[in-house]
Amino acid sequence: MKSLAVVFSCAALFEVAIAQASAWAQCGGVSWTGATTCVTGYTCSYLNAYYSQCIPSTSTVVTTSVASTTTTRSSSSSTGVVTSSSTRSTTSTTVSSTTSSSTAVASGGPRKEVGKLPALGWNTWNAYGGDINETKILNAANAFISLGLKDLGYEYVNIDDCWAQMARVDGKMVPDATKFPNGISGLATTIHNLGLKIGIYSDAGLTTCSGFPGSLNYETVDAETFSGWGIDYLKYDNCNVPSEWNDSGNYADWTLSKSYERYKRMTTALNAVSRPIQYAICNWGNAQVWTWGPQVGHSWRMTGDSSETWSYIQSAITNNANYLDYVGFYGHNDMDMMEIGNGDLTIAEIRTHFAAWAFMKSPILLGTDLSALTAAELAVIKNTELLAFHQDATYGAAAKQYKVTSPPEYYSGQSSKGYHVFIINFTSAASTRTITFSEVPGLAAGVSYKVHDMWTGSDLGTFTGSYSASVASHDTLAVLITTA
């Protein structure tokens, strides 16, 4: 297996070859601008609309069948909303009495000791790809403290793919001892001693996206291993699913799909271990995951992998705007990990990236070398008012479109502080935007409102009927509105 470890070297994953994509690298998908052909011996294979990957040409690994996003979206029904929200209200009533750490909810859904609010933290992938080790992860954990992020609620320090040895030992996953000289359990202890939580990664297939052991058919032993190491969060990917686990076309009820069954097996396994582990489904928005996600995990990815581009941010927002009714306590649409600090996003684009992930209540997992963040970028990720909206323990719903436009620009929602409006300017020039109070649910014409800027933390004045302001290109207006 040593030679395989070289072939599948995760360091290679991080490089985006100009001419040809490297082994296991991305080679296509919505808004992908890199290479679309693979190095010799690998073939570019379609995984979903957002992600094609270079897999070995001779590989017997079969990727999951993918319902087209267009099909799945158009057939999304309001039934799913009713199901998921009734699941939530049933289970939330049991929360207060659910204090035993091993108590699973009656429905068999995800545990309720964790995951009420969208996760706030960091993950290795967007910063380092597979080129990870203990030092880099501890640096991020220490930066949470030195930069004041821990005090603002950032808590999860998550390991993505490429932490394991290529082969199981006695049926169990084993950490790569070079990358993790103290094992994952040693790292977990250090991170817990800092007052933070630690996440890990596996895959609902035979192997992970980078070729390391997957958890399909090993759900129980892997959940026990993770719990024993002190893991607090699991990201569960969707690569290398064997063909007998393919979904067979479209289902009227996607809880009958193989996808559901693969992910639900891990729910059952996690519910049986002593440690509460937050469960992040990562099946890239396939199989209408938002309709069954609340019964299975605490969050579910809505797209393929993010990229450090404005086009990805715009597409993730535009897509998720259609599914915000599925978001609530213990269940969150995941727009994928943050790209703040990566690429050449403008500060306006960074503001919109952060604001939209916050007001749509997506998990916010930073994905960069935190020590390299600029003061302006830090100010965005430390915005206390957006973080308060994201982490509001009283109001679980996302801000939603109150006025339908294409692309979707106008959102409103409620928090413990009052009503909020968020307006994104998706186009390429600044323009004046107006909040007409009678259009916003909860507000009315003929009432005087105090309008407060969530970016600067300052009051903008008292207004009746409407409030207007200039919104820069790709920027987001974010205001709190309370009765004057």
Ligand X SMILES: *[C@@H]1O[C@H](CO)[C@@H](O)[C@H](O)[C@H]1NC(C)=O
Stretch that binds ligand X, among 195-203, 275-283, 367-375, 429-437 (CB under 6 A): 429-437
271 contacts ligand X (rule: CB under 6 A): no
Number of chain residues interacting with ligand X (CB under 6 A): 21
Please identify which residue in 61, 103, 136, 185 interacts with ligand X, judged by CB under 6 A: 136
CB 7 within 8 A of CB 23: yes
Angle among Cα 138, 148, 308 to the nearest 5 degrees reads 70
Helix (H, G, I), strand (E, B) or coil at 216: coil
- We find the least distance from the C-beta atom of residue 48 to ligand X, in angstroms, to be 10
89 contacts ligand X (rule: CB under 6 A): no
| 305 is a catalytic site residue | yes
DSSP annotation of 22 reads: -
- We find the least distance from the C-beta atom of residue 79 to ligand X, in angstroms, to be 27
State the CB neighbour count (10 A cutoff) for residue 220: 16
409 contacts ligand X (rule: CB under 6 A): yes
Smaller CB separation from ligand X, 254 or 330:
254
Please identify which residue in 433, 436, 439, 455 interacts with ligand X, judged by CB under 6 A: 433
460, with CB counted inside 10 A (0-12, 13-18, 19+), is middle
| 344 is a catalytic site residue | no
Q: Please, which residues bridge with residue 53 across strands?
A: 26, 45
Please identify which residue in 181, 407, 441, 461 interacts with ligand X, judged by CB under 6 A: 181
407 contacts ligand X (rule: CB under 6 A): no
Smaller CB separation from ligand X, 256 or 447:
256
- Note the Cα 473 to chain centre separation in Å: 25
Ranges of beta strands (E only) in 249-380 are 278-281, 299-301, 332-334, 364-366
Stretch that binds ligand X, among 77-85, 92-100, 394-402, 422-430 (CB under 6 A): 422-430
65 contacts ligand X (rule: CB under 6 A): yes
Task: Find where tokens 């990805």 sit.
Answer: 312
Which of 237, 234, 228 is closest to 174 using CA atoms? 228
133 contacts ligand X (rule: CB under 6 A): yes
Smaller CB separation from ligand X, 86 or 431:
431
272 contacts ligand X (rule: CB under 6 A): no
Which of 459, 452, 410 is closest to 434 using CA atoms? 410
243 contacts ligand X (rule: CB under 6 A): yes
- We find the least distance from the C-beta atom of residue 162 to ligand X, in angstroms, to be 13
Token code pair at residue 409: 């620009």
Q: Is 16 left (phi over 0), alpha (psi -120 to 50) or beta?
A: beta
Distances (CA, A) of 44 to 35, 57, 128: 10, 9, 22
Active-site hit among 161, 247, 305, 325 = 305
Residues that bind ligand X (CB under 6 A): 62-63, 65, 133-136, 179, 181, 243, 246, 409, 423-425, 427-429, 431, 433, 471
Active site residues: 237, 305
